[in-house]
Amino acid sequence: MWTSWWLLPLVAVCTADWFREEAERIMQSTPVIDGHNDLPWQLLSKFNNQLRDQRANLTSLAHTKTNIPKLKAGFVGGQFWSAYTPCNTQNKDAVRRTLEQIDVIHRMCQMYPETFMCVTDSQGIRQAFQEGKVASLVGVEGGHSIDSSLGVLRAFYYLGMRYLTLTHSCNTPWADNWLVDTGDDVAESQGLSPFGQSVVREMNRLGVIVDLAHVSVATMKAALHLSKAPVIFSHSSAYALCAHRRNVPDDVLQLVNQTRSLVMVNFYNDYVSCKPEATLSQVADHLDHIKAVAGAGAVGFGGDFDGVSRLPSGLEDVSKYPDLVAELLRRQWTEAEVRGALAANLLRVFEAVEEASNHAQSPEEEPIPLGELETSCRTKHGYSEATSLRQQQGALLASLAPFLLSLCLL
């Protein structure tokens, strides 16, 4: 009896080691694709995007949750880097700021080619896996970055953007954000306006993934019903476990299941436990819940590293992914389910988006109505002529009305 009690701690340690070893074995051939990392914002905030500043050296970068050694230790094989600019740039310099963040992502790949490979399609991710590099993709976080312009949307696509988050924590003139659901913001589009629907259709045509992190529930449902391709939540968790409006409610998770879409779980404590403190085990609870409601194919990882102020114990930086995978294995997730959450689910969604795209189709062209824009800091080129033309056409029809009426009476 005494011997068996003495052995129990040893057995527990050996079992824990086995799950960790299994996690590493799986991740060697299926590394994690993370949906959202804000390292580019840290590079702007700390170094004004000057990558040659010695303090910005990504092999020794301190005081961030992400650097090259941590990425390697965490078996990160794919990363959507966030090209983010805050809501206070809306109607000001949002486009310029976003371009600079896209630029710094490309320069990361140029400066560290042995580590990062900038890619723009699912095949590129697979190629990076084979070469042992981090497939690096651009995700633009916030629809305000396109300044309500379909032309800017297309230009960002040509520069490598492969997902667009429809809003950040502010409404755009064409989509409502999550603060509408808390009462801290006012619904302006009731989800998506007609122009917002054009944005989603154009994203489908181009092959840009629709990202619904940060949007209101009405916007979630509108986009899920409209999009011809699966969508993602690049960094959101389960509302049923933490009633924060940044999270995804169960009725939306059911739509995620029906559309074969994807929720990439956020690690921010406030979205995990709704408290300042959280644990790795609680993150695994969110993964379990989404799997139970939306299916194993709907689960992914969107850690939000370097974009949040509080992270769970056990998930302090990007090196900790194997510990989370070990926890899923401990919870009897199958190897196939784990590989899905790590990478296969995102690759499936990405391939479906690529398949739904159609560059031979005519692009969306109708601009957003001028009256829906904040105009104090913008010119009206195009609008004035188009408006006057419509007015001329209207005046012509009005002047012809008596003549047309007399013809009808003959």
Catalytic residues, by residue number, are 36, 38, 141, 168, 214, 235, 304
Q: Which SS3 state, helix, strand or coil, does residue 206 take?
A: helix
Residue 226's alpha-carbon distances to 9, 157, 199, 259, in angstroms, are 54, 20, 11, 11
Please give the Cα distance from 119 to 111 (Å, whole number).
Answer: 15
| C-beta of residue 282 within 8 angstroms of C-beta of residue 276 | no
CB of 188 within 8 A of CB of 172? Answer: no
**Angle at CA of residue 121, ends 297 and 80, nearest 5°:** 70
CA angle 175, 374, 182 (to 5 degrees): 40
Angle between helices 250-259 and 280-294 (to 10 degrees): 60
Alpha-carbon distance of 340 to 59, in angstroms, equals 29
Buried b (16+ CB within 10 A) or exposed e, 72-99: eebbbbbbbbbbbbeeebbbeebbebbb
Element (DSSP H or E) covering residue 68: helix 68-73
